[in-house]
Structure 1
Amino acid sequence: MSRMNCAERFLADALAEQAAAGRPFRPSSPGVIMVVLDHSGGLAAAREFSRASAVGAAGSEALRSALDERALVLAGPLDRAVVILFDSELHSADDLVTVTLDLLTRPIAIEGEEHFVQSRVGLATATNVGSDALDVLGRAAFAAAHVAMETGVQLHEATSSLLSEIRLAADLRTSMARAIDEDFELHYQPIVDLATTRILGYESLLRWRSGDDLLAPAAFLAAAEETSLILPIGRAGTRTALGKVAEWNEGGSVDKLFMSVNYSARQLSDALLFPHIERVLERVGVSPSTLWVEITERHLVDLASPATRTIEALADLGCVICVDDLGTGFAALRYLADLPVSVVKVDRSLVCSASDAASIRSVVGAVCDISHSLGIMAVAEGVESENQIPMLRDLGFTHAQGYYFGRPAPAAEIAEGRE
């Protein structure tokens, strides 16, 4: 028992106290409900800290009264957490959760005043988790409450795989934080002039070299966004990409290459991004027009957002604003008129379908017509064969990108091909 973790010690001590008081808790099929009160810190921000610190005790008392003898209600091992232990053979988990959620929709009396307290709830039962050990169920319920906090739902129920998933996600975040300075690298895919197929620039694409594996963004980008690790990773990527295009343009032809760099809404909302880009451009000695700021259309919905203000500032600086994956998100075409967009990339799913479906071809053609009328260049993504090129030219595309022109490759391979 000396090596028990916090959850095990808390539950063991609480159950020992119950037994010593003559109220032993020995469930046949245990279940745990974890309630996290004021998870956003809203009450603590709005009121004095002393009142906010009383949330846990007040919530425990209110839940104890509402659940009566059907469950054992304990102040949790962490501040503002309440643990509800019950026997699912005697009392339905659904019934107890219903009572709990109903109570949490009402104000709670805290130091003589009523306050509505935001909450998130996690549920773990022996049946769904696959264990009747209370320490496992306690951690699973807390993990479920964590998922509820992350996703914005009121209640989340633990499954048998949740603890391992949470552990893997935590390990992934730690590995990413260690890898920021050394293990992330960029691959580059050419973007061509569709009329001549001459390479005009490159899109930089993030990769993570983890051991012997080279991971694409699908394996880590969501976690990077959730933890804000995307901010230092993205800043490092900007430095590398602009440094590389400066190197390729040094002593080259009069027609300089551009570099397209992807930015998420979270990155563009970062107040440090604009001055960072400004400094990097000056340090590597390239014109702001060398940088294409690439963002997917679904991140452009809120025209009053900090991200939009950054886009406008970068456009004023002289950077080229590029809307990526046009046709996959939910932003209306009016954003092309309302924002300083110079380039649109039409998603590969539409480009590929345009060869076989006349209706899709009409839609893509209309997008190109609208782009031209606004003075916006149109890039066809996902071009995989020479047979597509005449149709894409007829539709009005000015640029193209895809495996036919070149797969994403490390900088060394790009430099070798340019020699």
Structure 2
Amino acid sequence: MNDEQQIRYQAHHDALTGLPNRALLQDRLELAIATAQRERRSLAVLFIGLDRFKSVNENLGHVSGDLLLQKAAGRLDACTRQADTLARFGGDTFVILLPEVAGGEEVAAVADKIIDQVGRPFHLADREVFVGASIGIALYPADAESADAMLLHADMALTGAKEAGRRRYQFFTVGMQRSIRAKAELEQELRRALERQELILEYQPVADVLTRRPVAYEALVRWCHPRHGMVSPARFIPLAEETGLIEPLGRWVLETACRQLRVWQGMGCSDLCVAVNVSARQLELGLCAADVESILVASGVRPASLILEITEGLMLDGRAESCGRLQALRDLGVRLAVDDFGTGYSSLGYLKRFPVDELKIDRSFVQGLPDSSDDVSLVEAIIGIARSLNLALVAEGVENQRQLAFLRDRGCGLVQGYFLGRPASGEAVSAWLACPSESASPRQESAAHA
């Protein structure tokens, strides 16, 4: 290869993987569309994103990240035909152009093959790494008639696949355009919400099953949108995690909850604790013991008064970096609780590996008590596990006296739910704590206005 050929090659190929780059892909896609239009046939574009690549890059280093990209490129290439084009679009995103397809079923078969191949373990030096592939698919001429539109729509479909749970594929639909626009608007509004103090915390009591007195309050973030009213956390928390806004949002929640707890402790409730939810994404973005310690010091709260609730899914994942950060938090003196316990459908061996202090029985197992024999068996088994491991136990979603009586009689020490108290503002909780025997509890006030 002479110098001119070398320059031309480098201009059209990715230096790391040797695959066609975005410019060459664009050329081939435009040519394929012209051919498909002339011959009245269909083609497909697959946008492929590597799940968890960012985590590998951040925690194992860029050398391992580059090696993973090279190995992934090899597996993707094995899924293509000679006439197809596999290109690296940028970062952890690859694109496959299928210049002639019979229909959606053929494309789906290719996508299934890719998900299977990329989902197998990668061996990087002395480590075994698991990632996955999410895929967005656009078809010509059904979804678009230009190269730019095909790439845009396949990218939108990739976003849909990731939002649906990753490690899957989705075909483009017209509704995705509306969804993407709405999501972009919501992201901008969430950024402004942090600046404009539109976010608030409400606190739900965790009570002693015998006395019904609060021993802790779980902090729950709420968004009071100036036009849309209360925005559900189910809408904005996943968006915050995806965009990285969960980092400043999570820090604000921790700071605000700890300051509020210090107020309550200053009122004489020295043993009261506050619980804050921490997501896997926060740990991926670098939440560490030093951050939590600085917040505790600034607010004057003891580490043992803070409970960090983590999902069972995070425990089951068992990533080394997450394990290390959780251990450091535990060493700081912070208490760790496993939220939604029982929904992981996997081995309980992680309870031996992680120094957790508390289990929270998922509300889905409490709903049917005491009439559902399945729920009775599951809850009794979880109570037995907690007792044998000397862990505190909280039952979530307690909504009536019969559920409370069942849990009390079985020895579940702590309960949480609307029957004990609805989420209330910090001020409302303060008023009740100041005169618990003279004023209505936040639960009673909320019920009266419901």
| Shorter-chain TM-score tier | 0.7 to 0.9
Aligned residue in 2 for 1:33: 45
Deviation at 1:222, TM superposition (A): 1.7
Show the 5 A alignment for 1:241-252. Answer: 241-250=257-266, 252=267
Match of 1:225 in 2: 241
Write the deviation string for residues 48-76 of structure 1: whole angstroms up to 9, x where unpaired. Answer: x9xx9xxx9xx99xx9x943xxx9x8999
Structure 1 gap ranges (5+): 1-6, 106-117
For residues 357 and 82 of structure 1, the distance between their equivalents in structure 2, rounded to whole angstroms, comes to: 50
- 1:363 equivalent to 2:381? Answer no
- Does structure 1 residue 173 correspond to structure 2 residue 187? yes
CA shift, 1:124, in A, is 2.2
Match of 1:375 among 374, 390, 394: 390
Partner SS, residue 230 of structure 2: strand
Q: Report the Cα distance in structure 2 between the residues aligned to 1:120 and 1:291, rounded to whole angstroms.
A: 37
Letter in 2 for 1:164: R
Task: Give CA-to-partner distance per residue, 1:178-197, whole Å, 9 cap, x none.
Answer: 32342222111011111111
User: 1:109 matched to which residue of 2?
Assistant: none
Q: Helix, strand or coil for the counterpart of 1:294?
A: strand
Q: Take 1:146 and 1:153, find their aligned partners in 2: how far apart are those partners?
A: 12
For the pair 1:208 / 2:223, whether they are aligned, the reply is yes
Contact 2:114–2:133 (CA under 8 A) maintained in structure 1: no
2:265 is the alignment partner of 1:253: no
Name the structure 2 match of 1:283. Answer: 298
1:141-180 matched pairs, under 5 angstroms: 141-147=154-160, 153=167, 156-180=170-194
Aligned to 1:392: 407
The whole-number CA distance in structure 2 between the counterparts of 1:336 and 1:120 is: 31
* Residue identity opposite 1:169 in structure 2: K
SS at match of 2:242: helix
Q: How does 1:40-55 map to 2 (within 5 A)?
A: none
Q: Percent identity?
A: 30
Give, in whole Å, the separation in 1 of the partners of 2:319 and 2:107: 43
User: 1:30·1:85 contact (CA, 8 Å) conserved in 2?
Assistant: no
Go from structure 1 to structure 2 and tell me whether the alpha carbon gap of 1:36 and 1:193 turns closer, same or farther (over 3 Å shift). closer
TM score, norm. by length of structure 2: 0.69
The answer as to whether partners of 1:66 and 1:99 remain within 8 angstroms in 2 is: no
Task: For 1:122 and 1:299, locate their aligned partners in 2 and report how far apart those are by CA, in whole Å.
Answer: 26
User: 1:353 is paired with a residue of what secondary structure?
Assistant: coil
Counterpart pick for 1:199 among 214, 217, 222: 214
The amino acid of 1:415's aligned partner reads S
Q: How does 1:263-412 map to 2 (within 5 A)?
A: 263-303=278-318, 305-412=320-427
Residue aligning to 1:3: none
Find the aligned partners of 2:345 and 2:330 in 1 and give their Cα distance. 23
What is the aligned-residue RMSD (CA, Å)? 4.4
Q: Residue 240 and residue 338 in structure 1: after superposition, are their counterparts in 2 closer, same or farther (change >3 A)?
A: same
Maintained 8 Å contact 2:244/2:285 = no
Alignment of 1:183 onto 2:198: yes
1:123 aligns with 2:137: yes
Bigger radius of gyration? 1
The one-letter code sitting in structure 2 at the alignment partner of 1:179 is A
Q: Name the SS of the counterpart of 1:161 in structure 2.
A: helix
Give the 3-state SS of the residue equivalent to 2:174 in structure 1.
coil
Deviations 1:233-288 (A, max 9, x none): 111100000000101111x2264310001111222344343111101111111111
Q: Rate the CA distance shift 1:321–1:391 in 2: closer, same or farther, 3 A.
A: same
Whether the 8 Å CA contact 1:128–1:158 is kept in 2: the answer is: no
Residue segments in structure 2 that go unaligned for 5+ positions in a row: 1-21, 118-131, 435-450
CA contact under 8 A between 1:30 and 1:132: conserved in structure 2?
no
Where 1:375 maps in the other structure, the secondary structure is coil
Relative to structure 1, the CA distance from residue 375 to residue 133 in structure 2 (aligned partners, 3 Å threshold; closer, same or farther) is same
Closer/same/farther in 2, CA of residues 128 and 209 from structure 1, 3 Å limit: farther
Question: Residues of 2 paired with 1:267 and 1:78: CA distance?
Answer: 25
Distance 1:135 1:30, change over 3 A: farther
Letter in 2 for 1:143: M
Q: CA deviation at 1:206?
A: 1.5
Pair 1:139-2:152 in alignment = yes
After TM superposition, give the deviation of residue 295 of structure 1 in Å.
1.2
Contact in 2 for aligned 1:35/1:81 (Cα 8 Å): yes
CA contact (8 A) 1:15 1:24 kept: no
CA contact (8 A) 2:288 2:328 kept: no
2: CA distance, partners of 1:147 / 1:94 = 19
Partner SS for 1:261: strand
How many pairs does the alignment contain? 381
Is the Cα–Cα contact under 8 Å of residues 31 and 137 in structure 1 kept in the other structure? no
Instruction: Kindly indicate whether the alpha-carbon contact (under 8 Å) linking 1:36 and 1:81 is maintained by their aligned counterparts in 2.
Output: yes
